[in-house]
Chain A
Amino acid sequence: MTAFSAHAAEAELSGPKDSQAIIARGIIRVAITKFELPAFHWRDAKGELTGPEIDLARVIGRLLKVGVEFIDDCATFDAVVDAVATGRADIGLSKLSQTPYRVLRVRFSNPYLTLHQAFLFDRIFVGAQAAGRPPEETLRKFSGTIGVIAKSEYVDFAERNFPEAQITELQTWDDSVESLMNNRVDAIYRDEFEIRRVLKKNPTLNVRFGSAAFTDLKSFLSIAICDTCVRLQEFINYQIAEYQAPFSLPSLLASEAGK
């Protein structure tokens, strides 16, 4: 055992978990969703995890000089946060937005990408509600049914930002899109990237459905970090500042996985 790793092992035993404990263990455990997040993380033809989020986790591991273990059994976004909060993982990295509830449970890095929150809405519903006025006011005080992914930050966002709306939690994003197409919801709510990606994948939807981005509602996509990992948080913030290139809306939309 080297002097450095002996010191790290000592640190792990003597105080709360932080970067030294991870270095001592020789592995950083990264929680991710078990479902793919195209343009962020997915499995390639060989079944290997890939994508800019996976690359970012590997960069963090390499610079800490530890291996990376992906815990990829999280069924929901909240489950990723739970994994970090309960100590099953050291960090969580799955297009996670900061929310007040989550901030109480884990630390968050600085955002590696900030996206506007957005709607994909039924043009006829919004047009009828607007009654001849521009649609903006109807969207601000949306009173229809909003579809969001269950146990995602958008449940919280929808309740907070659109109190007059009915919120319908749907299992997956694909379910949300299908519900909109089948008139079971009047709008679906997520970040601008996902809304634009839906329209890019299926341009026919442009005729029936409109898209709106809220310039003052932002999703800060950050890495969830264990509650006691103060140094690890500093370290990750430094790395994010250096590693932002792959995370921009145009580059994500232009990437093969983002199409």
Chain B
Amino acid sequence: MVDTPRFSFAKFSKRVNSPSLSILAVLLGVGLGLMRFPFLQHLKPIGDFYVALLQMCVLPFLLATIPLAVRSALTSGTGGKVMSRLAFWLLLTLLAAASIAVLASTVIFRIKPLDQATTSRIGALFGASADQVDIELALKPQLSAMARSARESGVQSLVPTNVFAALSSNDSLGVIIFAAIFGAGMVWSERRSGNSIFGALKHIQTVCILIFEWFNLFTPIGLVALIAPQVAFLGPDVYAVLAPFAYAFIAASVLLLVIPILVISAALRVRPQTVFAKLLKPLALVVATRNALVCIPSALEALKDELHTPSEPCDLYIPIGFVVLRFGPFIHFMTATLFIGYLMGRKFTGLDLVSVAALSFMSSFATIGVSGLNALAPMAVVLRPFGLSYELALPLMAIVDPIVAMFRALLNVALNCVIPVLAAGRRSPKVSIVPTPAE
């Protein structure tokens, strides 16, 4: 009798999500998109279905993972140290990212000075996209219309008054804040009464990871179905017209993708190719879905289980960092501001550049929980202090947004992944909160 090898789901899932297959799916998506076949628009519902599957489990996963991470930090006794290291490396990463964005933009805009033909084509593109006046306003608005609605703003808007409403409305930041407070409460409660739901939460987390593994079988199809229609949506002429911006933003994005991989490689003492291969799944996933939240489980898996980064900084930082620290919009707003300045003939001093970076960073928080073109609205806060027209920038940025949004999401994941690795210091084997997928 011949022994037939037993089918292993985890092995099969790993094979389906191998780096080579992911790269192939991304390239296929881009290739099909560039060919602009009419049938590509029919792939969009398949892509949307795949994103919906992934999103389904994200919030329960966060609800389980964050209290566990907070508990781990509070009980290990090293929480304070880890937090301060995370804050230090976050600040350094922000400074480095801003410098690279400024450098890439300045170099590209110097190499390719604006000519009359490009201005004309950009103007034509703007005219075609904005089939109305830039601003509609009343000369004498009624006081009632001027009165601002008394909506919650600032810190108050971060606190979910009803966590179930926050869950049902996909208010991920609200859920994270609740989960962090819940985690701290769980530790105090455990110390007082000895009762704990630690085991139950761990089980919920394991179940979520198992479900993610099932859905990961669709990743290659999902990547093609999501990327191809996005690329096909825009013709090559649009890129040609907005080339200076596209070159600057893509150059900054590529640098900010390569540098974290090299930094992680140096910190963990593994080859850059290995780091890239391990991070490829969350990176490809975020390019396709443009949603950093759905990549949290795969990023944690890549950093902890595959690259063996200590769990504590990863569990503490990744879920919060992916939601709150929006490196993508930060870099995008900076590059867009420099581009609009370049278009309108505005020169920036050193102090201006620092202000652009600071305003871009602050504005990036306003994109939390906001998707689509609404995520471009906070750019007004960066542009206007420099006398630059948001009304000009918005339609131009909206034209290229289907592609720029992919890079924004990519930066969110790539740069956020480097911070816990640096904060963890040298590699040390530790028991992971997220269990290794069972074979």
Contacts and interface: CB of A to CB of B under 8 A. Distances in A.
Name the residue in A127, A131, A132, A140 with the highest tally of chain B Cβ atoms < 10 Å from its Cβ: A127
A214 B139 contact: yes
Contacts of B116: 204
B389 A123 contact: yes
A210 B389 contact: yes
Nearest to B126: A206
Interface string B111-146: 000001001101110111010111111111100000
B422 interface: no
Contact of B126 (A116, A124, A203, A217): A203
Interface residues of B, number: 34
21 contacts: A123-B389, A123-B392, A124-B344, A127-B388, A135-B135, A196-B132, A200-B127, A203-B120, A203-B123, A203-B126, A204-B120, A206-B122, A207-B123, A207-B392, A208-B344, A212-B136, A214-B137, A214-B139, A215-B136, A216-B140, A217-B139
Contacts of B134: 210-212
Interface of B: 116, 119-120, 122-124, 126-128, 130, 132-141, 343-346, 380, 384-392
A92 to B, nearest CB: 28
Contacts of A126: 389
Interface of A: 116, 118, 123-124, 126-128, 130-136, 139-140, 161, 192, 195-196, 199-200, 202-208, 210-217
Nearest 4 pairs between A and B by C-beta?
A: A127-B387, A203-B127, A132-B385, A203-B124
Contact of B392 (A136, A206, A215): A206
B135 A136 contact: yes
B92 to A, nearest CB: 29
A202 B126 CA distance: 11
Nearest to A216: B138
A77 to B, nearest CB: 22
Given A130-B387, A134-B380, A207 B135 contact: no
A134 B385 CA distance: 10
Contacts of B345: 124
Nearest to B128: A203
A156 to B, nearest CB: 15
Contacts of A211: 133-135
B237 to A, nearest CB: 14
B180 to A, nearest CB: 34
B127 A206 contact: yes
Given A123-B392, A140-B139, A204-B120, A195 B133 contact: yes
Nearest to B137: A136
A124 B340 CA distance: 11
A207 B343 contact: yes
A139 B392 contact: no
Contacts of A136: 135, 137
A187 to B, nearest CB: 12
Nearest to A135: B135
Contacts of B140: 140, 216
Given A134-B380, A206-B392, A212 B133 contact: yes
Nearest to A133: B384
Contacts of A212: 133-137
A226 B352 CA distance: 61
Contact of A210 (B122, B138, B343, B392): B392
Contacts of A204: 116, 119-120, 123-124
Nearest to B142: A216
Contacts of B139: 140, 161, 214, 216-217
A116 B127 CA distance: 19
Given A203-B127, A206-B127, A207-B392, A139 B387 contact: no
Nearest to A253: B131
Nearest to B380: A134
Nearest to A130: B384
A207 B391 CA distance: 10
Name the residue in A123, A212, A217 with the highest tally of chain B Cβ atoms < 10 Å from its Cβ: A123
Contact of B123 (A133, A134, A206, A213): A206
